[in-house]
Amino acid sequence: MEILFVSHKFPPAVGGMEKQSFELITGMEHFCKVHRIVYDGKGSILSFFLGLRKRILQTCKDHPGITVIHFNDALLATMCLWHTGYEHLKRTVTLHGLDVVFPSEIYRKRIFPKFNKLDLFIAVSRATADQAVALGIDSAKVTVIKNGVDYEHANSVSTEIPKVLAKYGIPADRRLLVAVGRPVRRKGFSWFIREVVPKLDPRFFVLLIGPFDDKPGFFERLLALVPNKLRGQVMLFLGFGSDAAAIRSLLNNPIFGRSAKHLGRLPAADKQALLEGSDAFIMPNIHVDGDMEGFGLVCLEAVTAGALVYAANIDGIPDAIQDGKNGFLLPSQNAEIWAKELNKLLLPNQNLHERKRDFLEFTISHYGWDKMVKAYYNAFMDLMRHEN
């Protein structure tokens, strides 16, 4: 079997989709002959999309053994729906979440149902699969394959935590709750600061890590002039920080600023040290129309970094965190329960070390890029066998 992988999310760009794309494509090379057309940051992304049909046709001509073309997200597949010249090949696509529920009536009602002309849909979570079926995708063509996680560093122990705390001006006498991710509304960061932080034991200090600007940039000021509905769509499409302004406002308020801080992007070693030194990693996602957390890879990364994970029981997160097995799931937007469960961490005899060890062992045994790649390979093989 020869497969052509097409992806516009690929290193050197950094992110969950880029990581999944890289691991899938490179991992599949152990099972079959792989060809790739990926956007590696060279040239404009517009040129990449406009030239896709020509590149796909040329690659298929140069390698007539190709039987499957895999698009690594639905946005990319949308751009290729109207291509001609390779309809005889099996066409498959990974569904991540937002690429299914994107808040556009034209996309949901007129474009997405046309995906049924493709042969196989691989959803990263059951929630993503259910959304796809609800929007008209043939359920017989949908399967769920969960993402994996790196765990080579899982048993590493950092000795630099005091230095990292001092480096970023973090009070050494506070107990740390750490959240990681882009400042988009579905992550629930501003909700957590506003609703949960006032109910927490004052010994806690909340750290946010990820892309963030202390002041609104040019693009954010420009978007403020755009009508609300269109602004929301643009932010979702570009992955822009739709929660940044709210977070900024809260942190500038002394009532919240004394118990929370945004550190922006951090070197991997510093992030690792803070996760290891935290009482908990938090992922307090909330419901946002037209957006969803497809899987929750950052939760698994936190487990392997040595953190105890508390996450919202919403969207695709339960496919990553299984309650009581590799973390704890809490009801989304229930501030009372979030505060109650986190405050328990300060009680004696919580056996936190044993819990972290057990959760890490479960994650390592159930989630791995190798498992994901093998599942994709089996799905492709099943597709070809049904053809025969």
Pairing state between β 33-38 and 2-7: parallel
| Other beta carbons less than 10 A from residue 37's beta carbon | 18
The pLDDT, as a whole number, for residue 225 is 65
Full DSSP string of 80-95 = HTT--S-TTSEEEEEE
The pLDDT, as a whole number, for residue 218 is 61
What pLDDT, in 10s, does the model give residues 63-107?
Answer: 999 999 999 999 899 989 999 999 999 999 999 988 888 877 888
Per-residue pLDDT at 351 exceeds 70: yes
Considering the chain, what percentage of its residues have pLDDT values greater than 70? 92
Q: Where are the domains of the chain?
A: 2-148+368-387, 161-366
Answer CATH for 161-366 from 3.90.1720.10, 1.10.1670.40, 1.10.357.10, 3.40.50.2000: 3.40.50.2000
Give residue 214's pLDDT band: very low, low, confident or very high (50, 70, 90): confident
CA angle 134, 135, 137 (to 5 degrees): 90
Per-residue pLDDT at 157 exceeds 60: no
The pLDDT, as a whole number, for residue 165 is 93
**pTM of the predicted structure, to 2 decimals:** 0.87
CATH 3.40.50.2000 fits 2-148+368-387, yes or no: yes
Give residue 155's pLDDT band: very low, low, confident or very high (50, 70, 90): low
Element of type H or E holding 69:
strand 66-71
User: Torsion angle, CA of 339/262/10/86, rounded to 10 degrees?
Assistant: 60
In this structure, of 208-222, 250-264, 362-376, the range with the lowest mean pLDDT score is 208-222
Q: Fold match between 2-148+368-387 and 161-366? A: yes
Per-residue pLDDT averaged across 128-135, rounded? 94
Per-residue pLDDT at 185 exceeds 70: yes
Between 217 and 166, residue with greater pLDDT: 166
The pLDDT, as a whole number, for residue 353 is 81
The pLDDT, as a whole number, for residue 26 is 96
Per-residue pLDDT at 216 exceeds 80: no
Give residue 17's pLDDT band: very low, low, confident or very high (50, 70, 90): confident
Encoded tokens for 34: 């792989």
Per-residue pLDDT at 247 exceeds 60: yes
- Give CA–CA dist 180/271, Å, rounded: 9
Q: What is the mean pLDDT of the chain?
A: 90
Per-residue pLDDT at 229 exceeds 80: no
The pLDDT, as a whole number, for residue 68 is 97
